[in-house]
């Protein structure tokens, strides 16, 4: 399929998204809830672009032959910035100081510390697990950790819980230590805000993916561990 992005024609395979086409054209499109390893969710709306004149989230819009995509439209960028401001407005301002995808996205879209709350939501932490720690105040409920846990690792240990702006990741009904977490570290690896961290490892620190076998129940399912 041929897609025209900002006047440049690129070839993308069937099944590609508008985001894929934009990347193929070298057009910068910010993303936050997107991870190439996961199915797209279209939740954060920071990847807005114009597709044949209409505003669409690039990550969940299918590319089509003859499509015209425009990135960098000032009106669309303002909408993406507003979406990001609404996402961070209840996060503590210290979230911007962490070397995370969220901080990079804020820099890209011009969202400063003044758009964050002075303090967090007071949702507390879960440090019950020996390897995986959660700071609920930093969670934006993008669902990347849940999709990683369910779709990639098959552990089904995480869900999103709470209401409205207080919705955050939760390890089922109990604490993280009581959950079905297999300590693979996939959630830590994909978290874009530093809400989920590995004990003893600062947020935003690169991890290495190692393909191994789950030893949880003896079936021996394939598992990717992030160390
Ligand atoms: Fe596309 Fe979040 S990255 S909606």
> Is 206 or 158 the better-scoring residue by pLDDT?
158
Contact (Cβ atoms closer than 8 angstroms) between residue 153 and residue 173: no
Strand partners, 134: 126, 196
Assign domain 125-226 one CATH number from 3.20.20.410, 3.10.150.10, 3.30.70.20, 1.10.3470.10.
3.30.70.20
Q: What is the pLDDT of residues 8-36, one digit of tens each?
A: 999 999 999 999 999 999 999 999 999 99
pLDDT-derived band of residue 217, with 50, 70 and 90 as boundaries?
A: low
22, 44, 71, 79: residue to mutate for ligand 1 pocket, most atoms within 8 A of CB: 44
DSSP character for 148?
I
Residue 60 Cα to ligand 1 midpoint, Å, equals: 7
Give the percent of the chain with pLDDT over 90. 82
Residue 59 Cα to ligand 1 midpoint, Å, equals: 6
Q: How many CA atoms lie within 13 A of 42 on its CB side?
A: 11
CA dihedral 86, 113, 32, 121 (to 10 degrees): -60
Residue 47: CB within 6 Å of ligand 1?
Answer: yes
d(CA 117, CA 92): 5
**Residue 165 pLDDT exceeds 90:** no
Q: State yes or no: ipTM above 0.90.
A: yes
**Residue 90 pLDDT exceeds 70:** yes
Residue 61: CB within 6 Å of ligand 1?
Answer: no
What is the DSSP annotation of 25-74? Answer: TT-----SS--TTS-----S-TTEEEETTEEEEGGGSB--TT-EEE---H
Helix (H, G, I), strand (E, B) or coil at 186: helix
**Residue 227 pLDDT exceeds 70:** no
Is the CATH number of domain 1-120 3.40.50.410?
no
> What are the residue boundaries of the structural domains of the chain, listed by start?
1-120, 125-226
pLDDT-derived band of residue 218, with 50, 70 and 90 as boundaries?
A: low
Task: From the CA of 32, give the closest atom in ligand 1.
Answer: 3
Nearest alpha carbon, ligand 1 atom 3: 31
DSSP character for 151?
I
Helix (H, G, I), strand (E, B) or coil at 189: helix
């Amino acid at each position: 399929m041929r897609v025209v992005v900002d006047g440049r024609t690129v070839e993308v395979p069937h099944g590609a998204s508008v985001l894929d086409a934009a990347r193929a054209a070298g057009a910068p499109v910010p993303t936050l809830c997107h991870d190439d390893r996961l199915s797209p969710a279209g939740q954060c709306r920071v990847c807005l672009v114009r597709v044949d004149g209409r505003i669409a989230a690039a990550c969940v819009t299918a590319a089509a032959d003859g499509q015209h995509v425009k990135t960098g439209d000032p009106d669309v960028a303002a909408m993406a910035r507003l979406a990001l401001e609404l996402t961070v407005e209840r996060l503590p301002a210290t979230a911007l100081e962490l070397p995370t995808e969220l901080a990079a996205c804020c820099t890209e879209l011009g969202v400063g510390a003044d758009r964050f709350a002075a303090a967090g939501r007071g949702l507390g932490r879960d440090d019950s697990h020996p390897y995986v720690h959660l700071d609920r105040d930093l969670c934006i409920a993008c669902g990347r950790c849940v999709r990683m846990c369910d779709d990639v690792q098959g552990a089904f240990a995480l869900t999103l819980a709470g209401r409205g702006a207080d919705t955050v990741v939760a390890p089922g009904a109990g604490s993280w230590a009581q959950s079905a977490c297999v300590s693979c570290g996939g959630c830590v690896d994909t978290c874009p805000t530093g809400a989920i961290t590995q004990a003893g490892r600062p947020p935003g620190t690169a991890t290495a993916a190692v393909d191994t076998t789950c030893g949880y129940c003896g079936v021996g399912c394939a598992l990717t561990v992030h160390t």
